[in-house]
Amino acid sequence: MSKTVIAAAAACALCAGASAQTATISGLFDAYAGTLQYSGSKRVSVVNSGGMSTSWWGIDGGEDLGGGLKAEFKLGSYFLGNTGASGRFAGNETFFSRNSYVGLSGPFGTVRLGRDGAPNFLPTALFNSFGDSFAFSPIILHANVPLFNGTRWQSVNAADTGWSNQIRYITPNLGGFTGSLHYQFGQVSGDSSKNNIGASFLYFNGRFGVGGFVHKIRIDNPLPGTIGDIKLGFSQQDAWMLSGKAGFGPANIYANYEEAKNSNYAGPPGDAKSKTWSVSADVAIGAGKVMAAFANTRWTTDPTSARDGSKRETFSLGYDYTLSKRTDLYAVYMNDRITSFDRGNSYVAGIRHRF
């Protein structure tokens, strides 16, 4: 259960009439064991963190300013539960890489300053049967997880699932529709062209919904990468996605389609394009649900290169069993295949707990 600290008592002791402020500590711990093998990799037995959801902890809170206006903040940090290390992976990552923002909300919507979600994240994570699984959701793997195993397989999306140095505006809920505008300052001295811009939307009506995003990327995240190289040696990415879901009886069906183009806005001509599609479903059975998902990504390049025509296909099948409101058990089989590389098969079981 979330732990809430009420600061009003201390504030009132110092200043009568001070407004109430709250801060909440919450998070999620996910760990799994089994054998893991992506295409082109050798099989390895593991105890890893973040199977169905990336493990994280954080603090968030706000203050009612009156007149419908509210101040808010959030600090969120990922961690590797199997080793105790911070972050999602070893390397180029800030401590509060999940969230680090302060903002104001009211009848006009919400404005946030700092590090917050990128346009690509929710239209992907909310519209597939494996949710925000960066280990086993085929569409998440293809869109956001590069491989460093000799296949040189790159993720489709540039700039991570969170943007730093960002101004984000979120509309009020308008009959089930919410929109989000994102602008990330590159903060590169002498080069104002280095920035990211994007937009996303979500619409839900009962168990039916649609979502999507569009972005133009010129800098990496959460820390700057090599200037002029955001993906595959190119300096710019333009991408868009449409997603949808529909619920029928015990089942939910999801679909996604994305196109991305990597090119240079200044410099040598040429490009690398990807087209990605995915279908998935979950069906309630007993105290849990069966999940199945498939994603396909194909690359084309101009001029022709070794990546031209390469394809990846990933299929995952799992069962998620609910023990309580905060705890569930899961088991997953995943099959992964990249052009010209051996097929990979993974078998894991894990536990996820929210606090």
Tell me the per-residue pLDDT of 278-317, one tens digit each, with 9 for 90 and over. Answer: 999 999 999 999 999 999 999 999 999 888 999 999 999 9
93-102 pLDDT tens trace:
889 999 999 9
Amino acid in position 349: A
Torsion of CA 334, 124, 114, 235, to 10 degrees: 90
- Per-residue model confidence (pLDDT) at position 150: 85
How close are the terminal C-alpha atoms of the chain, in Å? 5
d(CA 224, CA 117): 17
What confidence tens digit (pLDDT) does each residue in 108-121 have?
A: 999 999 999 999 99
Instruction: Read off the pLDDT band of 18 (50, 70, 90).
Output: very low
> pLDDT at residue 122 above 50?
yes
Q: Which of 122-131, 151-160, 297-306 has the highest mean pLDDT?
A: 122-131
Q: What is the mean pLDDT of residues 192-203?
A: 94
Residue extents of the structural domains in the chain = 3-354
Q: How far apart are CA 346 and CA 94, in angstroms?
A: 30
- The C-alpha angle 99, 49, 312, rounded to 5 degrees, equals 90
CA distance 121 to 144: 9
pLDDT one-digit tens code per residue, 223-245: 666 666 889 989 999 999 999 99
CATH assignment of 3-354? 2.40.160.10
Residue 306 burial (CB < 10 Å; 0-12/13-18/19+)?
exposed
CA 219 vs CA 97, 222, 240, 345: distances in Å: 16, 9, 17, 34
pLDDT bucket at 222, cuts 50 / 70 / 90: low
For residue 25, pLDDT beyond 80: yes
Cα 340 to chain centroid distance, Å, stands at 28
Look at residue 11 and tell me whether its pLDDT is greater than 80: no
Token pair of 164 as six digits: 């730093």
Residue of 207 and 230 predicted with greater confidence? 207
State how far the Cα of 105 lies from the Cα of 111, in Å rounded to an integer.
6
Gap between the Cα atoms of 251 and 203, Å rounded: 19
Q: What's the CA gap between 137 and 315, in Å, rounded?
A: 9
Residue 88 exposed, middle or buried by CB count within 10 Å (0-12, 13-18, 19+): buried
Evaluate if residue 15 carries a pLDDT over 70: no
Cross-strand partners of 344:
336
Q: How far apart are CA 28 and CA 11, in angstroms?
A: 30
